[in-house]
Structures are given as structure tokens and as C-alpha cells.
């Protein structure tokens, strides 16, 4: 009897642990076997058979599994490939990962990991030169004019090595997705090598997409100031150079005002703040191996730590 109880407890812990890791699995929509074959087991529906292949009504396409908004109808186009095609996604909604076949790039829902399809580039179907080839069975559609609204906001922070900046935001309440990249420079499509050689003027930065109903820019900006040293000029710990500068790239005047207020509070507390404020320009996503670096490596930052300042 004791053995049975132990087995049951271990099974329960494993089950609940998996539920938490996968984003509250118990709240996902119930799937048919056909839907599971594609969404969970990464199958592919037959071409030219999906209900959204020839579908061009105005609205929003959602993840069939969790209901997250993925694509706007304005980004859908006809490619005659046999599956729905989009040349862009809603910010932070879709994640690209290497396919198990070693050749293609798989696209999954960034919220629940549901398999959507694959992304192809360089085909010149549209000006964006990108095609998200998506299984209809992975999608649900909400017509324009319904009560469904996509409400997200964006913040961009630079505070030293972008690996460390991103580390503290990934599990913050209200944060939907994070990605690291380059901003504030003068060249197009900068590479990590170019930025490190201080040839482009870009800062290593992190862009965060967040849910305004669960957090706000001020909370995230406070976290930014408390997870790096804002008094250091053009460096962070052992990392030295203009690309490691402390800078907030605000997307609107309200963000600028909030940042100015927080900097003034820190100055009144005796901090010689070096953080710059600049209007956000083009954000260039960094190479894939930089994304979620510490999470993938299973380690912690070497030059960033949390220090209470507010």
C-alpha cells in the first residue's frame, strides 16, 4: 500500500510538473485525433484540403490549441502551395526552430508549442520575401468586428551583454516573449561580429513583448535598472565597448516620461546614471544561437545580477 501511494505521488508530481512546463496544459482546447496528429505530433494535412487555404475574410487567425493570436488576415497571401500562407506574424506569437529533418525551419506557437508548419524565405512571393506555410488544422479564425482584440506592447532595453539582460525578463509575469538583437546603429543587417568590432554603432539589446493587462512598462523598466548597473558607461562588468552601453529605446513618449522619472529617482538616491534614452529605430534580430542563451545553456549570467534599487 505504501508503495502504491509513493508511485501515485510521483506520478502526480510528474503530471503537474509537465502541465506547468507546457503552459497550463489543462486549459488547452480539446483536440481531435486528426488535430493531435498535426499539432502535437508534427504531422502535415494534405495540401489543398484545409479550410483556410482559399480563405481571405478579414480577421485574426488563432492557435487551435491555446487560442493565442498568431496571424492577421492582412498578412495572408495566395501562394498556390496548397496551405495557408502568411508573410508575417503578430509580434512574438510564433517561434522558429530547426526542424528535426535538419533542413527546414519549423514554426510553432510561442505560447504553447503547437506545431504550425514551416517558414520559407527567398521565394519572392511578397516584398517581405517570407512565407509561413501553415496547416489549416492548426488554426482557428476570428472574423473582424468580433470582441476579440490583440493587446500587446513592446519595450526595448540595452544594458550590457544581451544574454544577461534577457535572462531576467523571460519568466517575468506578463512577459509574452523576448528576443535579443541590435539597435541604434547606422548599418543594415548588422552581424554579431560587426557589432563586436564596434563598426556599426549598434547596442546589444533585448526586445520584450508584454501583456499590458498583466504588467506595464514601468515595472519592466524597474526590472531593467535592477538587473544591470546603470552607472557604468559603455560597459557592463568585464564587457567593455559602446555596444554594451546602458540605453532604453522608447517606443512612445509615455515610455520616455516613465524612464525619465525612474532615472530621476535613482539620481536622487545618489546613483550617477549613465543610461541614455533614445527613440526606438529598426531592431535587428540577432543570430539564432544568441536567443534564450542562458536558458538553452542551463547556466546563469556572469555580469548581471538582481540588486534592489526601488
Residues belonging to the active site: 133, 161
* Nearest-angstrom CA–CA distance, 69 and 236: 37
**Pair type for strands 235-236 and 115-121:** unpaired
Q: Which of 14, 18, 91, 98 is nearest to 296 (CA)?
A: 98
Q: What are phi and psi of 121, to 5 degrees?
A: -125, 155
Q: What are phi and psi of 64, to 5 degrees?
A: -60, -30
* Nearest-angstrom CA–CA distance, 249 and 206: 10
* Total number of residues shown for the chain: 310
* Nearest-angstrom CA–CA distance, 217 and 48: 44
Cell of 177: 516573449
* Nearest-angstrom CA–CA distance, 108 and 234: 37
Cα Rg of the chain, angstroms: 22
* Nearest-angstrom CA–CA distance, 260 and 180: 24
**Pair type for strands 153-159 and 175-183:** unpaired
Q: What are phi and psi of 184, to 5 degrees?
A: 85, 15
* Residues contacting 307, CB < 8 A, separation 6+: 226, 227, 229
DSSP-assigned letter for residue 188: S
* Nearest-angstrom CA–CA distance, 39 and 53: 17
Amino acid at each position: 500500500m505504501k508503495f502504491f501511494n509513493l508511485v501515485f505521488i510521483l506520478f502526480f508530481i510528474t503530471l503537474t510538473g509537465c502541465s506547468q512546463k507546457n503552459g497550463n496544459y489543462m486549459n488547452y482546447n480539446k483536440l481531435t485525433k486528426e488535430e493531435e496528429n498535426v499539432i502535437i505530433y508534427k504531422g502535415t494535412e494534405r495540401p489543398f484540403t484545409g479550410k483556410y487555404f482559399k480563405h481571405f475574410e478579414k480577421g485574426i487567425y488563432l492557435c487551435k490549441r491555446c487560442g493565442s493570436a498568431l496571424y492577421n488576415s492582412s498578412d495572408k497571401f495566395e501562394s498556390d502551395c496548397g496551405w495557408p500562407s502568411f508573410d508575417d506574424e503578430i509580434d512574438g506569437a510564433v517561434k522558429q526552430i530547426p526542424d528535426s529533418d535538419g533542413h527546414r525551419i519549423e514554426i510553432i506557437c510561442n505560447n504553447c508549442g503547437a506545431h504550425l508548419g514551416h517558414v520559407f524565405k527567398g521565394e519572392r512571393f511578397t516584398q517581405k520575401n517570407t512565407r509561413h506555410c501553415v496547416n489549416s488544422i492548426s488554426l482557428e479564425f476570428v472574423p473582424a468586428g468580433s470582441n476579440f482584440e490583440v493587446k500587446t506592447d513592446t519595450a526595448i532595453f540595452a544594458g550590457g551583454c544581451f544574454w544577461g539582460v534577457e535572462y531576467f525578463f523571460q519568466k517575468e509575469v506578463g512577459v509574452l516573449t523576448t528576443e535579443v538583437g541590435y539597435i541604434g546603429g547606422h548599418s543594415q543587417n548588422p552581424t554579431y561580429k560587426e557589432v563586436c568590432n564596434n563598426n556599426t554603432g549598434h547596442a546589444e539589446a533585448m526586445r520584450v513583448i508584454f501583456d499590458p493587462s498583466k504588467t506595464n512598462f514601468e515595472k519592466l523598466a524597474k526590472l531593467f535598472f535592477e538587473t544591470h548597473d546603470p552607472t557604468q558607461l559603455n560597459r557592463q562588468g568585464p564587457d567593455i565597448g559602446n555596444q554594451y552601453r546602458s540605453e532604453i529605446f522608447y517606443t512612445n513618449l509615455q515610455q520616455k516620461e516613465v524612464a525619465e522619472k525612474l532615472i530621476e529617482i535613482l539620481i536622487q538616491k545618489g546613483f550617477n546614471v549613465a543610461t541614455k534614452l533614445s527613440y526606438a529605430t529598426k531592431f535587428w534580430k540577432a543570430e539564432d544561437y544568441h536567443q534564450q542563451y542562458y536558458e538553452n545553456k542551463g547556466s546563469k549570467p556572469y555580469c548581471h545580477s538582481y540588486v534592489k534599487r526601488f
